[in-house]
Structure 1
Amino acid sequence: MRPDSQEVDTSSAPVHPVDPRRLRWLELLSRYRQPIGLTVTLLLFGIALIACWHLLFEMDIYALHDSVLSTPRSSLAGALAATVVGFIVLLGYEWSASRYAGADLKPATLALGGFTAFAIGNAIGLSLLSGGSVRYRLYSRKGMGATEVARMTLFASLSLGCALPPLAALATLSDLPAAATALGLSEGLLGSVACAVLLLFAALAIGIYRRRLPEQPIANNLLVRVGRRTLRLPTLRLTLLQLVITALDVAAAATVLYLLLPETPPFGAFLLVYLLALAAGVLSHVPGGVGVFEAILLAAFADQIGAAPLAAALLLYRIIYVVLPLLVACVMLLINEGRRFFFAQQAIRVASGLAAPVLALLVFLSGVVLLFSGATPEIDTRLEHMGFLLPHRLIDASHFGASLIGVLCLLLAQGLRRRLSAAWMLTTILLLVGALLSLLKGFDWEEATMLTLTAALLAVFRRSFYRPSRLLEVPFSGVWLVSSACVVASSIWLLFFAYQDVPYNNQLWWQFTLDADAPRGLRSALGSAVLLIIVALTWLLRTARPTIHLPTPEELERAARILAHSSQPDGGLALTGDKALLFHPNDKAFIMYARRGRSLVALYDPIGPTQPRAEMIWQFRDLCDLHHARPVFYQVRAENLPFYMDIGLTAIKLGEEARVNLHTFDLEAKGKEMKDLRYTWNRGTRDGLSLEVYEPGTAPLDELKIISDAWLSGKNVREKGFSLGRFSADYLKHFRIVIVHFEGKPVAFANLLETDRRDLASLDLMRAHPEAPKLTMEFMMVGLIQHYKAKEYARFSLGMVPLSGLQTRRGAPLTQRLGSMVFQRGEQLYNFQGLRRFKDKFQPDWEPRYMAVPAGLDPMVALADTAALIAGGLTGLVKR
């Protein structure tokens, strides 16, 4: 967006008053939501582990082993078939979601996106984030926007939660005596609650039907008025269809577990308890509901079925319905990424794909396997054969080392997720070493094969890990540390469960015999816990985070050198000196940013080539994590949105930028627009207007300051900042300046933003004296376009029109509809349409510009913080 013109003050988008108290509460919720969420998750996970321990206290691991082996093959085959049916039914969610979002995708694309999103979401939880990220990656390549993907993900995620209460009520009423027995409640109370739930949902449906709007312009959507807001809901037909799909989905998933049970209770009662366990697992936000789901089912059916058979069925259920689809989904995604990888002409085309997060997940699972393997007894027959070949101390050392590698895999998965090349190299080495140790500790060839295959996949997708940052520079991640702590805690829980019949004594720590499974497990658990604590303390007690400061003259010179070799002239705003600078380690790129509250707001995409640009986005995210701030990128281009998705951001459209193609621009061409521009140029020349370009440091700034002061006074505005330059000799000395003279006297000027690449030229300050001729600014634009066309530049930017190009239809996102309304009706605040009409005269190509921000509550706070930066503080929001 160009800051100034004679027609309008384009210094910022209009800022509406924000209730300070509401903004403060939003800020508090945004600041503490992660620690609160992590604390609740840890608490629920701990309670679930204690409950499972209490319910399984009298069962030993050998009984569990025997129960798993005694499961009939027919039951396993039936469970596999039910899993296949369940995931086919799950694709119905995807189909319904695409109809609701108005997305036109091929069935094969929907099938891939639906299966992989649900498989990964079921395993790691947080389906809105995990499943949404997968969908965006796959669907955006087919031309689908972030808004439609978000709408599909929200629909698919909420469908199950909204359908669970009525389905549970129907399951209860289908076999009330059995449900009352399973839950330990009276039939009267349970029946009353079930009827109340059904009546409540019926009343809600009637209320929605009555509040529907008479005109429904969007297919498969029902617009409902609630107060002053309009909600976009699925139609009655789509809702009933989704209720049927959800019922079939839950029935198929419950059938998987039901078929694995040796003794089967009435299916209606079992389905009710399954629904309650499923809801509790989802609401707990524990990944996959691990522990919470099992605790409820054990509490309900352990006495009736037996703890060991039920635990064996739950274990097989996790493997068949959760782990197996997860592995299949990872393989499918990697195959899909492999096609892009091998057919890509440039490495950066695959740098921002799904390979890195999928491989990070596989490495994390490898760490889980190594830790759980270290906590459970090895197979005796294999150990006997190993004892003849290897010393017992080597077997013990291999067991201990494999567990430590498991902890490191958990932690290195974060580095892989952040695409660090150092994490890639270290993880590959550790996986291969772990495979060797798995063979030495007990000839665990299955485990060794999985680790070797994961290492091979890392080698295949080497180019996805393009960041040269050091591992020690990775910011502290509470989520990753808590996840790793939960895995280590689970392995310790598994250790005590496996050896609960072994009396504890001090000699256990020093036993190194071949059959000393318990001592090996104790040493491995202690080593794993100590290693995790050391890493956590090192993470927390590192050197102080880097300070944020305004650039020094040397840093401004570095930025100028990078800018000169780029194709992004807007980066010249870094030379104002009012923004901090973050440089690429090799001085290939930089980011200009400023801090406001808890927001670190970067202006534009990183300045520099494409590959370093992707690295810089991650580097900025690391900086934000170190300062516990939200990352915000203001005015970014659509082509870079995948990189922002990589770091967990979503996009909000700000408007459109006008860029004139100088290869096709012809002032002598036919047409009304060119005729008007020719008239402006010829009339201005006849009337005494002339245009002159001054080299850096040669323009008469004293005369230009008179024009600038008069312009500010006439517009009743003050100098702004951040995304705008200001009239300053220290700033303007870096640029060529164009001056329009009228009868030999300067009446208007602009500083030019250029680079050595000649791909694009632009301008920043553009100010005219109030007494300048009316056509002065249009005359300047025509002259500059001809000037750059003669110098063989490719394009000339006329700047951004805020809120231009936003959707006006009712089904569009709320932010777009509000922005479009302001664009159409906010002329008393800002001449949006006039600015658009003015730039349309030059027949430009319109390109969208976005703000990349975290999802949730953050966009509102980030927008307010960015507006305050541009306006020069809170007072600037109310003063022009």
Structure 2
Amino acid sequence: MSASSEIAQQEEFPTGIAIDEPVLPGWRLFLRRQARLISAVLTLLIFVVVGFAIFHLTDEVRYDDVVAALRATNLLSIAAAIAFTALSFAALTIYDVDALEYIGRKLPYPQVALTAFSAYAVGNTAGFGPLSGGAIRYRAYSRLGLSPDEIGRVIAFVTLAFGLGLASVASLSLLVIGEDVAPLVGVSSGLLQTVAGLVLAGLVALLIWARGGRVRRVGRFSLKLPDSRTTSRQFLVTCLDIAASATVLYMLLPGSVTISWPAFLGLYAVAVGLGVLSHVPAGLGVFDGVIVAALSGAANVEQVLGSLVLYRLIYHVLPLVIAMAATITVELRRQMGNPALASLRRLGGRLSPTLVSALTVVVAAILIFSGVTPLSADRSALFATVLPLPVVEAAHFLCSLLGLALFVSARGLSQRLDGAWWLAMLSSLTAVILTLVNTVSFIDTALLAFLAISLFATRKLFHRPASLFGQALTTPWLMAMTVICATALFILFFVYRDVEYSHQLWWQFEFSGDAPRSLRAILGLSIAASLVALASLLRPAAAPKGEPGPEDLDRAYAIVDRQDNADANLVRMGDKNLLYSPDGRAFIMYGRQGRSWIALFDPIGPQEIWAELVWHFLEQSRLAGCRPVFYQISPALLSACADAGMRAYRLGELATTDLRSFTLEGGKRANLRSALSRMERDGIEFEVIPVEGVPAVLDQLAAVSDAWLSVHKAKEKGFSLGAFDPDYIRTQPVAVLRLNGRIVAFANLLLTGTKAEASIDLMRFTREAPKGVMDILFVRIMLYLRDQGYGTFNLGMAPLSGLSRHEVAPVWDVIGRTVFDHGERYYNFKGLRAFKEKFHPRWQPRYLAVPGGVSPALALLDATLLIGAGIKGVIGK
């Protein structure tokens, strides 16, 4: 029995090694499994604590004073703030340019600039998982041809560059102006400067430690800083970005402020850092609280609050509007037939749903906040003369509910649902009319109108007919909704802090009764938001579908025969569930393990409907309360997975050989020719038994299979491997080797009607088979398939092969590569690849895709358990 023949059978991840997380105490395991929920609760707790702190810091401030401060801001200051915002975002695009240069990729600057600008516009404004800058980059750069590990390195570069640059700027500023900042934050200047000095010393030590691009390892992590030129340039870019963004707020502060610009720069850098660390969406409350607390002694608090409101509008909302306007412009010019914009149009189509979703969240929040703020006296008097009181009351109340409706639709927009588009469009148009009655606010009305225009211009992108109300809000969305509602509540308390509460307030209806209207609005909002949250949290899981029946399998067989993926024949095992596309032309085969729905391979069927089927699979798995996983997918599916918010991790490489050019001639194939000659001398006969002839030799095949399992002390596997099941074996031809008329080895063939690809599944032999029997069987099968007109031969996947060896490879690749290099004790990784390499194949990457926030290790564990039919199967080979 040869080593190559033994490894040839094992085409999957090793089932004898532990892929699971290390055994942990119960409380640590609970914390790890509930990490997302715990993080959300802590984030909300931080937000509430900061909210109360701001409320007490503004105890002497009144809403009218803040409004007066807003109106007092001169237009020159606003224009300067907009100019510095443009400068800051221009600097931010250089982060991505440097990151792409660092990983050795070069893309056209317009596409990089649009991606980076959109990523920062969305990340700064929305700032939570599904609408983060990383999600934007993953969607955009996958469309531009970057692999998942390259995108991960870009995201890591920009994150690390910003973090180190922010720490450097803040520390340098505090060293210089620590004495000015100390009184503002209530800490001694010596302590501030000492901390700043320690941080700078640590950064300098880090640069020296990894200077010249040398790789340093910390545990399982690798760190390689850029060369001195790139580091210096990135530091200057970060300084420019932070200085420009700080100047935006500084220009909006009142002229009476008594803090110098250098001192404010250090304060601003600290506030931004704390906002980022808090994980509160957009740093809402945390950033503002630090600024208010620090400047309470340098300026009037109401003026600072007014400046912060304008800063949020200019630096956060305006770039998002511009990014949306840019994609709309590209789309409209494409419709006018401008071929020069083809590449940008494709990129815009990838970014538009996320941009529209983020814009909808922002407009929803503004609409909700407007529902708890009072009308000015002149507007109230105007309404009293032209409108009935019930109209004003209803408009005020409904605006908050429409804001919540827009927020709920935002998640559906990110998933391209047509129902979400209709809900957002109707809500925005209705709100345009109601805001004219409710606030007569130009900003509110203009943003709502712009949202409606954006929805109309991108309407073709929202074509998915899935149910909007069948989509439950996930933890990040629930957290964001809670932050918005809690902010509205804090605004209510702030605006009406001088109004003494009375039960009669609920029943007061008059034009000047702003407090009662706001109370009713916040009550309606709270009830509606609670119902939405409860519906998401308590929604019963959908009953899982049973295994496919004969009619389902017959439909699947017909689809398999009309497509090119030979491995799709594994559906003939009948052990996988099937999810068909709405038109019935394609399907996904998947298995269930724990809380994972694991889809095997790319969807089976025409490629043009893969994207819709991916979304359908995600929705159905989530309706069942499970996490969706795609296992062993090709690069062709990465784009659809990225659109659906999934992250890809490399599993290994698939080997395929071009049969049309396959020959035994030449020095490279000398060993194969020798093995074939030896087979002929030993009297080994090769035969392909057609489907109709398989039942006659089924008993002989079963004997060979039982002998193979006994020798290897192995058990049958499943899911991504076939098992010796008579019904399965009868469905395809079988290639056999006979010695003295007796079958000593066989492999069942996986074929499709297109003849584009062929493969094999089970490969088994007896003790009587000669050494190297699998080499012989492979060669004869490939020669036979070549003569039959098949295009390529699928040799199967080499697990953990081809993972990135770059110095700054993702942690997943580092761990997998380590197992590949040093795991021979448990599984013959290198031997399996070497066996396939005999046939000089072309290697193609294969991936595992999971939703953002889901551990790939956990998903891979579930896949391994599914293949091994549970823990016993895994342990027992």
The DSSP-based 3-state class of the residue aligned with 1:872 is coil
Paired residues of 1:23 and 1:861 also in contact (CA < 8 A): no
Structure 1's 852 and 30: CA in aligned 2 closer, same or farther, altered over 3 A?
A: farther
| Residues 476, 626 of structure 1: 8 Å contact kept | no
Q: Is the 8 A contact 1:699 1:737 kept in 2?
A: no
Q: Describe the SS at the equivalent of 1:734.
A: coil
Distance 2:74 2:59 in 1: 26
Q: Against the structure 1 CA distance between its residues 204 and 594, is the aligned structure 2 distance closer, same or farther, given a 3 Å change threshold?
A: same
Structure 2 CA distance for partners of 1:252 and 1:308, relative to 1, 3 Å: same
In the alignment, the residues of structure 2 paired with residue 113 and residue 302 of structure 1 have an alpha-carbon distance, to the nearest angstrom, of 38
- Whether 1:606 aligns to 2:603 is yes
Query: For residue 720 of structure 2, what is the aligned residue in structure 1?
Result: 723
1:236: Cα distance to partner?
A: 4.7
Q: Per-residue deviation at 1:507?
A: 4.7
Indicate conservation of the 8 Å contact 1:644/1:852, yes or no.
yes
Deviations 1:196-254 (A, max 9, x none): 44444455555x25xx7xxxxxxx73312446764323345544443443333222222
Deviation of 1:793 after TM superposition, in Å, equals 4.6
How far 1:124 sits from its partner (Å)?
A: 2.2
Contact 2:688-2:733 within 8 A present in 1 as well:
no
One-letter amino acid matched to 2:716: E
The residue number in structure 2 matching 1:279 is: 273
Q: Secondary structure at the match of 1:764?
A: strand
Matched, 1:254 2:251: no
- Cα 1:80–1:778 change in 2 (3 A) is same
- For residue 151 of structure 1, what is the aligned residue in structure 2? 153
Partner amino acid, structure 1, of 2:389: H
Asked if the contact 1:8–1:831 (Cα under 8 Å) also holds between the matched residues in 2, the reply is no
Question: 8 Å contact 2:544–2:624 — kept in the other structure?
Answer: no
Q: Give the drift of 1:71.
A: 1.2
The aligned counterpart of 1:692 is 688
What is the TM-score normalised by the length of structure 1? 0.88
Partner residue, 1:293: 287
* 1:171 matches 2:173: yes
Give distance in 2, aligned partners of 1:817 and 1:644. 23
Q: Secondary structure at the match of 2:371?
A: helix
Letter of the aligned partner of 2:299 in structure 1? Answer: I
| Helix, strand or coil at the partner of 1:80 | helix
C-alpha separation in 2, matches of 1:384 and 1:828? 84
Stretch of structure 1 that moved more, 258-267 or 578-587 = 578-587
Task: Report the secondary structure of 2:629's partner residue.
Answer: strand
Secondary structure of the 1:801 match is strand
For structure 1, which segment, 92-101 or 75-84, has the greater mean C-alpha deviation from structure 2 after superposition? 92-101
1:16-66 superposed Cα distances (whole Å, 9 cap, x missing partner): 744977254785444211111110111111122222222223322222121
CA contact (8 A) 2:184 2:297 kept: no
The one-letter code matched in structure 2 to 1:258 is Y
In 2, Cα distance between equivalents of 1:603 and 1:653: 15
| Structure 1 CA distance for aligned equivalents of residues 522 and 46 of structure 2 | 22
| Structural mapping, 1:793-812, within 5 Å | 793-812=790-809
The answer (yes or no) to whether the contact 1:75–1:260 under 8 Å persists in 2 is: yes
**Conserved? CA contact 2:597–2:629, under 8 Å:** yes
1:55 aligns to 2:63 (yes or no): no
- Aligned to 1:689, the other structure's residue is in SS state strand
Residue 401 of structure 2 is aligned to residue 404 of structure 1: yes
Question: What residue in structure 1 maps to residue 374 of structure 2?
Answer: 377
The equivalent position to 2:856 in structure 1, one of 853, 859, 862, is 859
Q: How does 1:701-716 map to 2 (within 5 A)?
A: 701-716=698-713
- Between the aligned partners of 1:627 and 1:30, the Cα distance in structure 2 is 22
Using the TM superposition, give the Cα deviation of residue 655 of structure 1 relative to its aligned residue in structure 2, in angstroms.
Answer: 2.2
Superposed displacement of residue 408, structure 1: 0.9
Shift of 1:641: 0.8
Q: Distance in 1 between matches of 2:633 and 2:234?
A: 37
Map of 1:329 onto structure 2:
323
Cα distance in 1, alignment partners of residues 31 and 142 from structure 2 = 31
SS of alignment partner, residue 63 of structure 1: helix
The higher-RCO structure (CA 8 Å, 6+ apart) is 2
SS at match of 2:61: coil
Whole-Å Cα distance in 1 between the matches of residues 604 and 500 of structure 2?
64
Output the amino acid matched with 1:725. G
What's 1:653 paired with?
650
Give the aligned residue type for 2:156.
L
Tell me what 1:43 maps to. Answer: 45
Offset from partner CA, 1:429-484 (integer Å, 9 cap, x none):
32223323334445556544433432343343334334332223213412212211
Partner of 1:215: none
Which string of whole-angstrom CA distances, capped at 9 and with x for unpartnered residues, describes residues 297-355 of structure 1? 21222243111111111111111222112222233345567788987999x98898222
Q: Distance in 2 between matches of 1:462 and 1:228?
A: 47
Distance 2:576 2:430 in 1: 47
After TM superposition, give the deviation of residue 783 of structure 1 in Å: 4.9
Q: Secondary structure at the match of 2:469?
A: helix
Any residues of structure 2 matched to 1:358-377 within 5 Å, and which? Answer: 358-377=355-374
Q: Name the CA shift for 1:507/1:368 in 2 (closer, same or farther; >3 Å).
A: same
Map Cα deviations across residues 604-650 of structure 1 (whole Å, 9 max, x no partner): 12333335432332333334445554432210010111222233332
Q: Which residue of 2 is the match for residue 310 of structure 1?
A: 304
Q: Does 1:242 align with 2:248?
A: no
Residues of 2 paired with 1:584 and 1:228: CA distance?
42
Matched, 1:12 2:46: no
Between the aligned partners of 1:446 and 1:177, the Cα distance in structure 2 is 40
Give the Cα separation in 1 of the matches to 2:237 and 2:130. Answer: 19
Asked whether the equivalents of residues 166 and 198 of structure 1 are also in contact (C-alpha less than 8 Å), the reply is yes
State the SS of the aligned residue for 1:701.
Answer: helix
From the superposition, tell whether residues 814 and 256 of structure 1 become closer, same or farther in structure 2 (CA, over 3 Å). closer
Aligned in 2, Cα 1:274/1:759: closer, same or farther, shift over 3 Å? same
Please state how far the C-alpha of 1:682 moved relative to its aligned partner: 8.0
Per the alignment, residue 480 of structure 1 pairs with: 477
Change (3 A) 1:544 1:859: closer
SS of the equivalent of 1:119 reads: helix
Partner of 1:497 in structure 2?
494
SS in 2 for 1:606: coil
Look up the equivalent residue of 1:357 and give its one-letter code.
Answer: T
Check the 8 A contact 1:363/1:454 in 2, yes or no.
yes
CA contact 2:317–2:362 (8 Å) conserved in 1? no
How much has 1:572 moved relative to structure 2?
A: 2.8
- 1:361 CA drift (Å): 1.4
Are the aligned partners of 2:136 and 2:351 in contact in 1 as well (CA < 8 Å)? Answer: yes
- CA deviation profile, 1:552-579 (whole Å, cap 9, x unmatched): 5555455445444544342332343444
Note closer, same or farther for the CA distance 1:835–1:195 as it changes in structure 2 (3 Å cut).
closer
Cα distance in structure 1, aligned partners of 2:608 and 2:385 = 54
Tell me how far apart the structure 1 counterparts of residues 846 and 729 of structure 2 sit (CA, whole Å): 26
State the SS of the aligned residue for 2:633: strand
Structure 1 residues 427 and 164, CA gap change in structure 2 (3 angstroms)? closer
Q: Is the 8 A contact 1:224 1:233 kept in 2?
A: no
1:131-164 alpha-carbon deviations (Å, 9 max, x no partner): 2222233333333222222122122223333344
Q: Which amino acid aligns with 2:707?
A: A
Question: CA, structure 1 residues 586+79, in 2 after alignment: closer, same or farther (shift >3 Å)?
Answer: same
Q: Would you say 1:419 and 2:416 are equivalent positions? A: yes
State the AA in 2 paired with 1:12.
Answer: E
Q: Which runs of 5+ in 1 are unaligned?
A: 213-219
User: How much has 1:704 moved relative to structure 2?
Assistant: 0.5
Q: How far did residue 705 of structure 1 move?
A: 0.6
Match of 2:213 in 1: 221
Hey, what's the Cα distance between the residues in 2 that align with 1:720 and 1:107? 50
* Count of matched residue pairs: 865
Deviation at 1:281, TM superposition (A): 0.8
Amino acid at match of 2:420: A
1:149-183 superposed Cα distances (whole Å, 9 cap, x missing partner)? 21221222233333444433332332343222212
Contact 2:686 2:735 in 1 (8 A): no
What is the CA-CA distance between 1:100 and the residue it aligns to?
Answer: 3.4
Partner of 1:455: 452
Map of 1:847 onto structure 2? 844
Q: Is the contact made by 1:109 and 1:139 (CA closer than 8 Å) also made in structure 2?
A: no
For residue 652 of structure 1, report the CA deviation from its aligned partner: 2.0
Residue of structure 2 in register with 1:217 after alignment: none
SS in 1 for 2:34: helix
Structure 1 position 727, deviation (Å):
0.4
Structure 1 vs Structure 2: percent identity of aligned residues?
38
Stretch moving more, 107-116 or 40-49:
107-116
